[in-house]
Structures are given as structure tokens and as C-alpha cells.
Chains A and B, each alone.
Chain A
Amino acid sequence: MRYEKPTSAKKAADLLAQEKGAAFLLAGGTDLLVKLKMGMVEPDLVIDIKHIANANEIQITPKGFRVGAAVPGARLAEHTALKKAWPGVVEAANLIGSDQIQGRCTLAGNLCNASPAADSVPAMIAAGAKAVIVGAKKRRTLAVEKIALGPGQTCLEKDELIESITLPKPAPRTGDAYLRFIPRTEMDIAVVGVAVCVTLARGRIKSARVALGAVAPTAMLVPAAARAIVGTRLEDDALEKLARACSAACSPIDDKRGTIEYRTRLAGVLAKRVAKIAFARAGG
């Protein structure tokens, strides 16, 4: 196994493009090293992206925020402006693993590992986050919900890596939130995760984005759930419609963490709770 630490995303993309064997990107390594240990992957090349310029930086830009692909969860928690703008995204990222894992785990890694239960992904989707992708020949930007294609699979080409995640500057009176359900209070994988982002005008929800995790092959945006609450003040009937729309969007698996029936119902219950938090954060 060769180990490279390129200093630019382009150089990393070139290494990916040229590699004939199995190449893997290393950011926090909290998934890759487990797979290595378990013998699930046998890399010929590991490309450490932490030495890429700005990979470890959170930058405030005219359009919002740029989070480098190697920024660990613990650093997101320390960034006051990011936390104020997108508390749901930061809270979701901070739910991943222990403090030890937070020292390493990244938004880009959580996204590219493409687990359906990745906590930060529904929150990023609800917030309208985008992934800045660098390839050997071209760059492109894609909405976060377009990255995962299925469990462990992304749409990234062989020569592509995510250089950063961007989050927009929130419109006035916007609030976001994420909750997951787990059997324990810490250190577990979501049975269901729900993220909601709302923007208010004159006390009513003007626009909304609702995303679900752990109830389908990928985290996903649920436009019907957003439509259920747009124009409302989250009155009881709006919350019921939201819950029904979320449950209707579910196509979960049965496993030790929850049955199909349980996950489907839980998605609706959690969505109501999350919407209330997002609404309150937006000033509603």
C-alpha cells in the first residue's frame, strides 16, 4: 500500500486518475481504517487529503460557508458563525460517534461513505448544501442529495474527489434542525434521521426542505413533506400531513435496529418534532 499526501485537490485527482490498482481517499479515516482492519478493502494507494490547501479550513464566503473536506466534526462545533447559521447541520455532524471520532470524522467523508444512515447527510440536504467536486480534467458542483446512489455507492468518477462542502448564507428567518432516533443516547447508528429547514414570512412557512435518513437506500429530499407545511404555522393538521408525507416516502429495510413498520411510523413522529424545532429557530 502506497501512501501519498498531495498538496492540491488537482494533484489528488491526478493520482486517482493514474492509479491502476485500488485507490482510496483518506480524510478522517473513521470508516476507511475500519474497512482496512476488517479486510473489506485492500488499497494499493491511499491518498491523504489533509495536506491539500484549505482542506482543514472553514471559510466564510460572500455566498455562505465553505467547509474543507478534511475539517473534523469537533472543529465544526467550535465555529460560532457556522453553528449560528446552521445549527441543525452542526448538531447532526456532532452526533456521529464519540468525541474521539469527532476529532477525525468529516462532512465530506460522511457523504462519500454513502451510508443510508449517515447523520450529517439529511441535515446538509435540508440546508441546501453542495459538494464541490474536483476531477483530473474538470470541476463540478453538485447538490448533496445527488452524491449517493445507494449504500456505499456515489456518483463520483474514478478521478474525482470532494474538495469542500458549501452551505448557503441562510435567508432571514431561517431555522434548521436534525434529530435521529437511536436505542441508546450516544454511539449508535440512526434507526431514522430527519432534517427540516424552514424559512418564515409573516409568521408562516414560506419555504421548506425536509430530508430523511435511514429509511431508504440513500438519504433523500422529500418535496411532498415540504409542501405539507409550506403556508402553515405548523398547526396540528399541517404536522399530521407532514408526518404522513414522510412515512409515505419511506422504503426502509428490516434489521436489528428496527422493522420496516417501525421505521416508517417513526419517520413521521420524528418529522413533527424536528419541524417544531426548526420553526422555533426561525423565530416562529
Chain B
Amino acid sequence: MSKATLVSTFVNGDAVQFACPTEESLMTALRDRVGLTGVKEGCGTGDCGACSVTLDGQLVCSCLVLGVEADGREVETVEGMAQQGQLHPLQEQFIEHAALQCGICTPGFLVAAKALLERNPNPDETEIRYALAGNLCRCTGYDKIVRAVQAAAKQMRSRR
């Protein structure tokens, strides 16, 4: 294990510093050093999307990013989605549509769906399914997730 490197970053808008070995993934650093356990480890190899976060606004798998790469950059996780105690419309609609069962994949789906809706406020079902193809769910069969994203998109459009 290498000696720890100090990383100064912004996580969900807050300045955060952590020290991590250079080979440690951002996923592990966020979970074990910053305490953001909403970042889930599914596969650890970029196939399942459970560890999805945004890095300078770009959706990534945090298991495929080194912790040291986050230095000077902005990270957003599922913990940053609710604002002033108010759930994000995606979170509300995932609950409303029962779009989760075991819940391990949910933070990744929420972060990826948020990135989608920021780029495309009115995606059709095909666009949603392609955009979320990097997030795997073994419980829901995806249908409820797609419906929840559509409902959240509608809710967000009506609030503008």
C-alpha cells in the first residue's frame, strides 16, 4: 500500500479533504473516508453502475476513478440530491412507484437518472432505457424504474 495522498475536493458542494493511498478508488474513498455510503459497491469494475456519481458534472462509475483524481474537482453523490430536507422529484417518484426492492442499485439509478434529466428533460422510454443501461437491477425488472423516471421528468417540467 502506498502512503496516503491528501486530496482536496468538493463533495455535494462542501469542501472535503481526505487522505487515501494512490491506488484507492474514488468509490472506496467516498464510502470509507468521507462516510458517503450511498455510493454502493456492486461489481467494482464499471458494469453495474451502483457506484455512480458525477465528477465535474459528468456521470461516472466511481469505482473506475482513482480517489486522487478527484483533487480540485467537484463530486456529486446521491446524498446531495435532497435539498433542505426535501427529496428530489426522482427520489419521491421512486418511492411512489415502488421502483426499488433491495435498494442497492437505487442510489446509482437516481444519480444516473438525474444526469439524464439535466441533459434531456423529456426522455421517451427508449431514451431512458439506453441512458440507464449502465445501471443493473436484479429486483424490479426495470419497468417501475422507467415509470418513476418518466413521472419525475413530468413533475420537474411542470415546476419550471
Contacts and interface: CB of A to CB of B under 8 A. Distances in A.
Q: Say whether A and B bind each other.
A: yes
Interface in B44-80: 44-47, 49, 52, 55, 58-61, 63-66, 68-69
A29 interface: yes
B17 to A, nearest CB: 17
Contact of B25 (A26, A33, A43, A186): A33
B44 to A, nearest CB: 5
Contacts of A2: 2, 22
Nearest to A104: B60
A176 interface: no
Interface of A is mostly: mixed
Interface string A171-184: 00000000000000
B115 interface: yes
A103 interface: yes
B23 A1 contact: yes
Given A26-B66, A46-B22, A99-B131, 10 more contacts: A2-B22, A29-B64, A29-B69, A34-B45, A37-B63, A43-B23, A72-B58, A100-B60, A100-B134, A187-B133
Interface of B: 2, 5, 21-23, 25, 44-47, 49, 52, 55, 58-61, 63-66, 68-69, 112, 115-116, 130-131, 133-135
Given A3-B5, A3-B68, A187-B133, A101 B46 contact: yes
Nearest to B49: A100
Interface residues of A, number: 28
Contacts of A50: 69
Nearest to B134: A98
B60 A103 contact: yes
A104 B66 CA distance: 12
A231 interface: no
Nearest to B1: A1
B4 to A, nearest CB: 12
A48 interface: yes
Interface string A58-101: 00000000000000101000000000000000000000011111
